[in-house]
Chains A and B, each alone.
Chain A
């Protein structure tokens, strides 16, 4: 029997055509791949879930205040009594008093109604502060303010930083020098000190220039101040990436084909840094919430009586021995929010570009 000349056989055209239909290679976008990597990171997703829970709870603060607690965030109830488990209790009790018979003051610490844990028909669930205000309502409203400032300032800061970085990175030369020095000037100041200085300057009269009018006490003041002081922390690293991308062949090719600056920026450069910007945006929210808390703690952020987590911690300081919950509850809220954002931000970074080393440091 004769040996075959070769092992090779030739498939028929029909067979080949049928196999082509069976194995289809699907093109997958980087975003899809990132999502696949992200959904394997359960810790990051759980953190995102926690963040959404906090956001939703804070967003519903007016509903809780109106329908459950029956009080506003700034309403003082000192001197009132509340029924807890059927017993009438002072919202603020105790305290020193002048004893007419003894002819002197009797010194006693005031007592504040502690958490009622739903035993007072939804009132004072987390207790009262030293003015007899509902802590739960103030924490939720405080969270609303802190999150609004954190997210709002992150948006503004990221947009401004991105714009400046694109201009600096694309045009290079004098434009880059000017923008880089602007970053340097802001960077030269400690973030919190610069923010305090600007906030204090705007505290008395607000801002009324260039057709913009912001009243003192407006949430826009801390929002814009935080946006401004953190610009270089996003702008600088993005500028570096754009400078690098600007030298790539595909950018040269686009310019060679006659693409204008705007088109190159938005069609070629921006898509290539989008993942970095997204990670920065997530992380800067956390950083901004912390900065706001620091500012408000020092009295230069959200103005009293409006609550924010930072000023709630500060207000509770003097009652730390008798009513520790006043500082602890907003403190825990900040920790959970910042932690959830940071864990999610790290997960997002790993998912979008595992080699990247994006960090917000200041």
Chain B
């Protein structure tokens, strides 16, 4: 049943790589934006808040289209990055990682923000009187105490990235070995007569991956939670 063909393995490994890269790159931004939203009052905060959550409420195709016209080869940002840094997104797996990261971002920011809001600020004050500057306080007190929320956010983003379909296929198409993720591969197989068996295998694999991610994240979150509560 789980005898995946080389082409199917490619799709599975590609999905994992895209989701991992998307989560890893989104995480520093997720922590920064979560911190801004939790701790700072500034002009345009409501706008930023809305912007972060936009991918959650927009049709994914719209997000994919917006990515295409801004990060595509002829898009202003895409052209700039390609000319100056040699970074190309369009029709590459990096583009898939970008769209997956953006789609997962709102799910990542929310738990991080909530965790940061829940921290007892008086502990940070105490750390300050003990000689820790603001950055050290953040590193040694804020970040460890927010760790359960950060893990939850990363896992949600990873799961979203693993299953992303609409924005990715709109932005970087469906190229086997480059941008064809599990979801895209299943979609393709379903268009082909007799592709059902292969699609079924991939579906089963997708379920296994999702369950494994859940178990691993639950384990991490429990460990981090115990640490924070001091057990």
Q: Do A and B come from one complex?
A: no
B residues bordering A, Cβ < 8 Å?
none
Interface residues of A, Cβ cutoff 8 Å to B: none
